[in-house]
Amino acid sequence: MTSTESHNRQYRRRSYLKHCLVGLGATLSATGVAAADDPEAQYDTVVDVVEAGADPEGNESITPVLREHAGDDTLFEFPDGRYYMDEQFRLTGFENVGFVGEDATLVPANYHEFDGPQYRLFRLGTSDNPGRNLRFEGFDVDQAAPDTGIRVISAQVEDGLVVKRVTVRGVHDSGTWGPGLFNITDSDGRGVVDCFRAADGGRHVDETPNEGNMWRGPTGITIDQNHRGTLVFSNCALGGFPDNGLYASGENGRVSVDGGRFWNSGTASIRLSGTSGEIRDAVVVVDENPHDSAGQHPIRLDHGDRFDVEGVTIDVPQPNGDAIRIMNGVDATTISNAEISVGDRPNNGIKIDAGAGQTFVKDVDIEIDGSANAVQILGSDAGEVALQDVRITGDAPGTTMRHAIYCERDGCRFDGLSIEQQGSNERRGLELRGEDYRVADSEFETTHTPLVVNGADDVRIEGCVARSEEDGYSLHIIDDSGAVSLTNNEFPDGVRDDR
């Protein structure tokens, strides 16, 4: 199957980007942030920026006009037009402020002509003086001209953040901070970022006028150590950024990714830390390495109490990292109702690091063509890993890694597996190296021996079918293994027991 055919097959099942207006009310309701049908009714003062003196033709900077009229309970309305900015607009400690565009385009000055900090258009709240109740919506940002990449909005609010329909057009090529930073600074606060799009990605800092002053380059969306509350990112789209795509780096707060499309960023296209988080119905693709990144994980979970990954489609025809990487600092993870397709390089489908805690994988399809593990389970006693109704297909050879599933952790369960791995070089199915395993109601069809008990103890295999297509056994028990119990299995190629 070609990569194009694989893309089409997966996208037919799950649309990669829901319409930006469909389901928005439900998302806002879920975050506790109210969306008013009539924004003007929510503010004491409404400022039409053109009537207030802003140039809608893009010739003069509008920042002085915004400063003149800034205040609490104020809505800035931007009629159809192009609005030039050559210095940042900064507002802190505010209460109930909005910026709403109607066919409005923001035009940043280039890196060399920007006055003051060359990092942001809007700095709305800071970590030590955040705002409350911020609305920012309905803007295109024209960064097509050379060296005009800039952070469109830095928003740090206690509660009540609504950001909608912001589209950045053009490559972020200045080498400064990426398009968006969002933090909810109160642990009870909530916010939503809906349809924030920067599809053209960014350049590595070494290819920009800010060369030498930044690590790698911009991240698409940043949530940092000042985040404490709940943030939902709905239907966002981020192209290839040299650092990360969407990156939550702090130890606190909750971050949810609902839908959207993310592709080709360095390190990870979605990278989460925090107290908890969810990734639902997102599409993540790696089919290019525009920044010569050493690794490009579609999804990486760094540290936190619990993460849920549900309904995602991960398509990596040019893999450069594990499709889903669960790092040592994660206490519990659930992956369900997902599709993962990995091309013909030796990168894993799901990698569970040695210190990562309890992990459940349920109703997941993994197509793997490279010589790697579809699921790699490391460590000994960090927590149970359970795979249920996991289907593994593809042409992966056994050249580098023999087995579709490699498990060295104790106390793991495998139920309802379907493994069809008929690639070259003795491709195998499941290898067990720890103790206390149950493998039940599963079917294996592999080039070489489907089931290998390699030094494992207290292994129960029940109701399984295992077939070797070439010169292998259905089950191989290696000489240093312990107790293995077999019940109601179909092993047409026999059992080799070297104990």
Contact 137, 81 (CB under 8 A): no
- Burial class (CB within 10 angstroms; exposed 0-12, middle 13-18, buried 19+) of 79: middle
Contact 69, 94 (CB under 8 A): no
Give the single-character DSSP code of 205.
G
Backbone angles phi, psi at 387, to 5 degrees: -115, 125
Q: pTM of the entire structure? A: 0.94
For CA atoms 334, 235, 255, 270, the dihedral sign is positive
Contact 475, 453 (CB under 8 A): yes
Which residue type is seen at 242? P
Contacts of 106 (CB under 8 A, 6+ apart): 83, 85, 121, 139, 140, 141, 142, 152
> What Rg, from alpha-carbon coordinates, does the chain have?
26
In 334-439, alpha helices (H): none
DSSP character string of 137-184:
EEEEEE--STT---EEEEEEESS-EEEEEEEEES-B-SSS--SEEEEE
Torsion of CA 421, 423, 426, 430, to 10 degrees: -20
Per-residue pLDDT of the chain (499 residues; tens, 9 = 90+): 333 344 343 433 344 344 564 444 444 444 445 445 677 889 999 999 999 999 999 999 999 999 999 999 999 999 999 999 999 999 999 999 999 999 999 999 999 999 988 899 999 999 999 999 999 999 999 999 999 999 999 999 999 999 999 999 999 999 999 999 999 999 999 999 999 999 999 999 999 999 998 889 999 999 999 999 999 999 999 999 999 999 999 999 999 999 999 999 999 999 999 999 999 999 999 999 999 999 999 999 999 999 999 999 999 999 999 999 999 999 999 999 999 999 999 999 999 999 999 999 999 999 999 999 999 999 999 999 999 999 999 999 999 999 999 999 999 999 999 999 999 999 999 999 999 999 999 999 999 999 999 999 999 999 999 999 998 999 999 999 999 999 999 999 999 999 9
